[in-house]
C-alpha cells in the first residue's frame, strides 16, 4: 500500500514538473505575435476581403519562392514575413547586416515593386544581451536600416514604417548563442493600402 502511494506521489510530482517546465519554456520562447497581428487586425471581410486576400495569397506565394528559408504567414488580409538569422541577420549589438542579408532583400525588392498597393511595417528585434533601453534602440535601428536599404532600391519611402520591439516575442531561447542569434531578426507586416482597398470596392460592386 505504501509503495502504491509512493508511485502515485511520484507521478503527480513528475506531471507537475513537466507542466512547470513547459510553462517556463513558454515564457522564454514566445509564439505570440500580438504586436504584428494588431497591424493586420483590420480585416475587411466579405467580397472585398476576398479580393484583397487573393492578391495577398499570390504575393505570399512569390515571397516563399524567392526566400524559401523564411517564414511566410497569411494573417487576416495581410502577410507576416519573418526573416531570421539566415535571411536578414545581425551581429551582436549591431544594426548593419551582411552581404547575405542584402542578397535576400534584393530578392524582395521586385516583389514589393510589383505589389505597389501594399504598405509595409518593419519590426526589428534584439536578443536579451544588454539593457532594455539599449535593446529597444538597437531593434529600432535594425528596422530602420532595412527600410533605408529598401528605399535606396526604389521602394517608396511612404509605404514603409518601422518599429523596434526590443526583446519582445523571442522565437528562440536567449540562454544560448544560437538562440540569441535567431532573436536578432526583422519581421514584416504587409497589408493593403487605401488604393488597393478602393480597387477592391470597385471590383466587388
SS3 30: coil
At the second CATH level, the architecture of 31-204 is 2-Layer Sandwich (3.30)
Q: Which three cell numbers stand for residue 132?
A: 532594455
- For residue range 83-128, list pLDDT tens digits in order: 765 566 666 667 777 778 888 899 999 999 999 999 999 999 988 8
DSSP state of 166: T
- For residue range 150-194, list pLDDT tens digits in order: 999 999 999 999 999 988 888 888 888 888 888 888 899 999 999
Output the CA torsion 9→12→14→17 (10° steps).
-120
Asked if 123 and 141 touch (Cβ cutoff 8 Å), the reply is no
- For residue range 3-40, list pLDDT tens digits in order: 444 344 333 333 343 333 343 333 334 444 566 666 66
Rg (CA), the chain: 21
Q: Which three cell numbers stand for residue 67?
A: 526566400
* Among the listed residues 187, 179, 186, the one whose alpha carbon sits nearest the alpha carbon of residue 127: 179
Amino acid at each position: 500500500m505504501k509503495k502504491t502511494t509512493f508511485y502515485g506521489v511520484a507521478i503527480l510530482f513528475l506531471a507537475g514538473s513537466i507542466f512547470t517546465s513547459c510553462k517556463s519554456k513558454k515564457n522564454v520562447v514566445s509564439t505570440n505575435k500580438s504586436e504584428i497581428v494588431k497591424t493586420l487586425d483590420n480585416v475587411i471581410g466579405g467580397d472585398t476581403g476576398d479580393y484583397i486576400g487573393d492578391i495577398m495569397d499570390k504575393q505570399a506565394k512569390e515571397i516563399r519562392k524567392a526566400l524559401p528559408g523564411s517564414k511566410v504567414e497569411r494573417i487576416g488580409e495581410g502577410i507576416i514575413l519573418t526573416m531570421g538569422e539566415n535571411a536578414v541577420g545581425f551581429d551582436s549589438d549591431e544594426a548593419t547586416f551582411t552581404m547575405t542579408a542584402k542578397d535576400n532583400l534584393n530578392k524582395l525588392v521586385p516583389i514589393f515593386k510589383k505589389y505597389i498597393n501594399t504598405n509595409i511595417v518593419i519590426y526589428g528585434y534584439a536578443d536579451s544581451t544588454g539593457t532594455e533601453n539599449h535593446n529597444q534602440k538597437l531593434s529600432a535601428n535594425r528596422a530602420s536600416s532595412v527600410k533605408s536599404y529598401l528605399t535606396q532600391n526604389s521602394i517608396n519611402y511612404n509605404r514603409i514604417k518601422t518599429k523596434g520591439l526590443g526583446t519582445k516575442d523571442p522565437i528562440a531561447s536567449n540562454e544560448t548563442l544560437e538562440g540569441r542569434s535567431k532573436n536578432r531578426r526583422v519581421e514584416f507586416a504587409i497589408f493593403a493600402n487605401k488604393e488597393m482597398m478602393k480597387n477592391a470596392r470597385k471590383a466587388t460592386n
